[in-house]
């Protein structure tokens, strides 16, 4: 099968023929039907998120089960699945405490090998998936069976961006109806936060992004106020629109120390600040200790939208099927696996919300 392999930092992915591993007792072979190109894939390429090469990138995907190991109980050939980039084993401390987004199996699956290159070198797979491939061998814990007629390119986005963003709004921050929400960074995940805020009944949604296409899309998806940070400090712009207070909820969806502080300052006293962006592992945030206690803001981390994938994937699919979640508008380009390197260029140039390999 063909796959897009990360071989060296800051180099284009190598599109090459690889051989998937034989299916283990608790694994399934999935034919990948669509895979979104997410900013975290780029972070692996540029060294921000350390995944050792060589490995198959891609962690936002959907497909059809072709073969299962003899101990697999929840899947059979022909099932449609969405891959979870953090598996949910169902039995570790976190899974039994309703926090499967922190499942212990995640860390171990990151280091396993999943395929081999033509020269025999073993290949890892990003987050145990490797969706930039025609097929992938995945632990059963990382696959969620779904029943829907949604198109593949929309379903793929539920694997990462949609669940992360909508989950941040509904699960992590738990936005209350009527409140005001500021979203800093309106890429795929930011657009999903905006939609989550709309679904939660926010009265004002401030979309903050320097790229016009992203502000326009945000408006279409529910933002009420569009803020271009190039036209002046976004914190004061949000304050001016909220009686000088700031927003009830602020989301950082970029992963930079400077925008994390900006999100903190955009929230009102007593407000909730949610950090969704995946920062570089070596980045640090320095902030006022006085502010931390005096302003009584709630500062929340957020991985995978605090989502319980077996509960939330079907929820987000149902919201899409009934027209409350618009995933079609988030798919900017449908591309082939050979065009994946150009998708990273388009992402950095601000030309797309999401490119999807189909
Ligand atoms: Zn992602
Ligand atoms: Zn678990």
269-306 pLDDT, tens digit per residue, is: 999 999 999 998 889 999 999 999 999 999 999 999 99
30, 69, 156 from 66: Cα distances, Å:
6, 11, 18
Question: Do residues 189 and 161 lie in contact, with contact meaning Cβ atoms separated by under 8 Å?
Answer: yes
- Separation CA 86–CA 109 (nearest Å): 9
Give the pLDDT of residue 281.
87
Q: Is a pLDDT exceeding 80 seen at residue 108?
A: no
Kindly indicate the confidence band of residue 107, based on its pLDDT and cuts at 50, 70 and 90.
Answer: confident
Determine the distance separating the centroid of ligand 2 and the alpha carbon of 102, expressed in angstroms: 7
What is residue 133's DSSP assignment? B
Question: Do residues 196 and 346 lie in contact, with contact meaning Cβ atoms separated by under 8 Å?
Answer: no
Please give the model's pTM, rounded to 2 decimal places: 0.96
Give the pLDDT of residue 112.
84
Mean residue pLDDT of the chain comes to 96
Question: Do residues 194 and 325 lie in contact, with contact meaning Cβ atoms separated by under 8 Å?
Answer: no
Domain 165-303, CATH number (from 3.20.20.10, 1.10.1240.10, 3.40.50.720, 1.10.10.10): 3.40.50.720
Kindly indicate the confidence band of residue 129, based on its pLDDT and cuts at 50, 70 and 90.
Answer: very high
Q: Which two three-digit tokens encode residue 275?
A: 């950090």
Kindly indicate the confidence band of residue 132, based on its pLDDT and cuts at 50, 70 and 90.
Answer: very high
Query: Which ligand is located closest to the Cα atom of residue 109?
Result: 2
Query: Which ligand is located closest to the Cα atom of residue 87?
Result: 2
Q: Residue 58 burial by CB count (10 A; 0-12/13-18/19+): exposed, middle or buried? A: buried
Determine the distance separating the centroid of ligand 1 and the alpha carbon of 161, expressed in angstroms: 6
Q: Is a pLDDT exceeding 80 seen at residue 3?
A: yes
The tens digit of pLDDT for each residue in 151-205 reads 999 999 999 999 999 999 999 999 999 999 999 999 999 999 999 999 999 999 9
What integer is the mean pLDDT of 111-135? 94
Query: Which ligand is located closest to the Cα atom of residue 102?
Result: 2
Determine the distance separating the centroid of ligand 1 and the alpha carbon of 40, expressed in angstroms: 5
Q: Is a pLDDT exceeding 80 seen at residue 255?
A: yes
Which residue's structure tokens are 């961006």? 161
In words, the CATH class of domain 2-159+326-357 is: alpha beta
196: CB partners within 8 A, 6+ apart: 165, 166, 167, 168, 169, 170, 175
Query: Which ligand is located closest to the Cα atom of residue 86?
Result: 2
Domain ranges of the chain: 2-159+326-357, 165-303
């Amino acid at each position: 099968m063909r796959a897009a392999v990360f071989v060296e930092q800051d180099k284009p992915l190598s599109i090459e023929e690889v051989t998937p591993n034989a299916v283990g007792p608790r694994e399934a072979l999935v034919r990948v039907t669509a895979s979104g190109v997410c900013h975290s894939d780029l972070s692996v390429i540029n060294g921000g998120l350390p995944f050792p090469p060589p490995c198959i990138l891609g962690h936002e995907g959907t497909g059809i089960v072709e073969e299962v190991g003899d101990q697999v109980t929840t899947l059979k050939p022909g099932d449609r699945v969405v891959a979870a980039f953090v598996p949910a084993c169902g039995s570790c401390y976190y899974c039994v405490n309703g926090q499967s987004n922190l499942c212990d199996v995640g860390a171990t699956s990151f280091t396993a090998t999943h395929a081999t290159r033509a020269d025999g070198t073993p290949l890892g797979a990003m987050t145990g998936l490797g969706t930039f491939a025609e097929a992938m061998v995945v632990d059963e814990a990382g696959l969620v069976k779904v029943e829907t007629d949604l198109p593949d390119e929309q379903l793929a986005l539920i694997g990462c961006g949609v669940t992360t963003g909508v989950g941040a709004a509904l699960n992590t921050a738990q936005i209350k109806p009527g409140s005001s929400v500021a979203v800093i960074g309106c890429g795929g995940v930011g657009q999903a936060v905006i939609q989550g805020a709309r679904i939660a009944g926010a009265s004002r949604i401030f979309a903050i992004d320097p790229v016009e296409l992203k502000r326009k899309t945000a408006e279409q998806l529910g933002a009420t106020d569009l803020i271009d940070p190039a036209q002046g400090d976004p914190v004061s712009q949000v304050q001016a629109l909220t009686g000088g207070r700031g927003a009830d909820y602020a989301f950082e969806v970029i992963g930079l120390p400077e925008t994390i502080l900006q999100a903190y300052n955009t929230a009102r006293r007593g407000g909730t600040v949610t950090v969704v962006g995946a920062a570089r592992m070596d980045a640090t945030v320095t902030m006022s200790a006085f502010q931390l206690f005096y302003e009584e803001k709630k500062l929340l981390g957020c991985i995978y939208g605090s989502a319980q994938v077996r509960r939330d994937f079907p929820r987000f699919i149902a919201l899409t099927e009934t027209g409350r979640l618009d995933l079609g508008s988030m798919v900017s380009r449908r591309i082939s696996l050979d065009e994946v390197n150009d998708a990273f260029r388009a992402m950095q140039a601000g030309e797309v919300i999401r490119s999807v390999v189909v």
